[in-house]
């Protein structure tokens, strides 16, 4: 079995170019509760606005830049000139299983039904409008968290983290299996290979193969931060 290195997932992201209510163009602020995310900037110019243990920060982005952020980092991709990035996400499959929570206003994050309604994209025809609507709602919550931190009040951020954890608690019961099946299994295979080499056993080298990622078919989807094209980076050989 040969998945993408590190048990990560891969996608190509064109950051949204329309403006939120604050006049800033970009995506929906959100955080991941378990996974680390990385941006490899391929073209354009923009920024990454973040809220983490050090407070609020804006990191400029341009072609060639690489940034990554650990679980709990609230992040907002800002598009200032046709920003495009390749996204690498740890724990392939886990983000799709509900690892992300958008920074909707506190009363929505505290209510599972209200959150689900705000996050849903619904029918195909209305997806662009819904994506913009949920982005705008997340920006409203993001501004409240940011402004409170800048004023020296961490309580809203702490409350958001607690509410986000409660929101995903039930579905998190299956996350361990995803981690064991992908990144952990790959790390264990690498360890087994290293131990085999140390014994003088090179049998696994005969299994060497080249694999190519398969892009998703059809139009790009509406992700949290932009128009998204995902790639199938699972073991293609074993799927035949």
pLDDT in tens, 37-51: 999 999 999 999 999
Give residue 124's pLDDT.
60
Question: Over pLDDT 90: what percentage of the chain?
Answer: 81
Q: Is the pLDDT of residue 125 over 70?
A: no
Give residue 236's pLDDT.
53
CA distance 222 to 130: 9
Q: Minimal CA–CA distance to 225: which of 82, 26, 90?
A: 26
Q: What is the mean pLDDT of the chain?
A: 93
Q: Minimal CA–CA distance to 161: which of 52, 78, 68?
A: 52
What is the average per-residue pLDDT within 101-130? Answer: 91
Q: Is the pLDDT of residue 237 over 80?
A: no
Q: Is the pLDDT of residue 106 over 70?
A: yes
Q: Is the dihedral of CA 131, 76, 119, 88 positive or negative?
A: positive
- 10 Å Cβ neighbour count for 41? 20
Q: Is the pLDDT of residue 74 over 80?
A: yes
pTM of the model: 0.92
Q: Which residue has the higher pLDDT, 232 or 199?
A: 199
Q: Is the pLDDT of residue 202 over 90?
A: yes
One-character DSSP codes across the chain: ---SGGG-EEEEEEE--SB-TTS-BB---EEESS--EEEEEEEEEEEEEEEETTEEEEEEEETT-EEEE-TT-EEEEEEEEEEEEEEEESSTTTGGGTTEEE---HHHHT-HHHHHHHH---SSTTHHHHHHHHHHHHHHHHHHHHHHHHTT--HHHHHHHHHHHHHHTTGGGGHHHHHIIIIIHHHHHHHHHHHHHHTT--GGGGG------EEPSSSPEE-SSEEEEEEE-S-HHHH-
Residue 119 confidence class, pLDDT cut points 50, 70, 90: very high
Q: Using the structure block, give the residue that is written with the tokens 């006049």.
A: 23
What is the radius of gyration, based on Cα positions, of the chain?
19
42 touches 63 (CB < 8 A): yes
Give residue 240's pLDDT.
44
Residues 6+ apart with CB under 8 A from 240: none
Q: Is the pLDDT of residue 113 over 90?
A: yes
3-state secondary structure 87-145: EEECCCCCHHHCCEEECCCHHHHCCHHHHHHHHCCCCCCCHHHHHHHHHHHHHHHHHHH
Residue 189 confidence class, pLDDT cut points 50, 70, 90: very high
Give residue 108's pLDDT.
98
């Amino acid at each position: 079995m040969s998945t993408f290195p590190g048990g990560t997932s891969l996608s190509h992201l064109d950051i949204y170019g329309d403006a939120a209510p604050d006049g800033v163009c970009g995506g929906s602020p959100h955080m991941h509760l378990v996974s680390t995310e990385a941006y490899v900037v391929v073209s354009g110019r923009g920024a990454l606005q973040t809220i983490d243990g050090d407070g609020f920060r804006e990191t400029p982005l341009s072609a060639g830049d690489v940034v990554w952020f650990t679980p709990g980092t609230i992040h907002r991709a800002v598009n200032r000139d046709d920003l495009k990035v390749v996204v690498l996400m740890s724990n392939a499959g886990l983000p799709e299983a509900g690892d992300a929570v958008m920074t909707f206003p506190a009363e929505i994050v505290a209510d599972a039904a209200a959150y689900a309604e705000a996050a849903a994209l619904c029918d195909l025809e209305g997806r662009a409008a819904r994506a913009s609507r949920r982005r705008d709602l997340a920006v409203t919550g993001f501004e409240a968290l940011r402004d409170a931190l800048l004023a020296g009040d961490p309580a809203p951020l702490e409350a958001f983290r607690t509410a986000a954890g409660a929101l995903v608690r039930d579905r998190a019961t299956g996350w361990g299996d995803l981690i064991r099946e992908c990144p952990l299994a790959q790390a264990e295979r690498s360890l087994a290979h290293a131990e085999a080499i140390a014994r003088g056993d090179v049998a696994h080298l005969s299994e060497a193969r080249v694999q190519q990622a398969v892009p998703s078919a059809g139009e790009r989807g509406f992700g949290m931060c932009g128009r998204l094209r995902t790639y199938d980076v699972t073991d293609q050989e074993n799927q035949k």
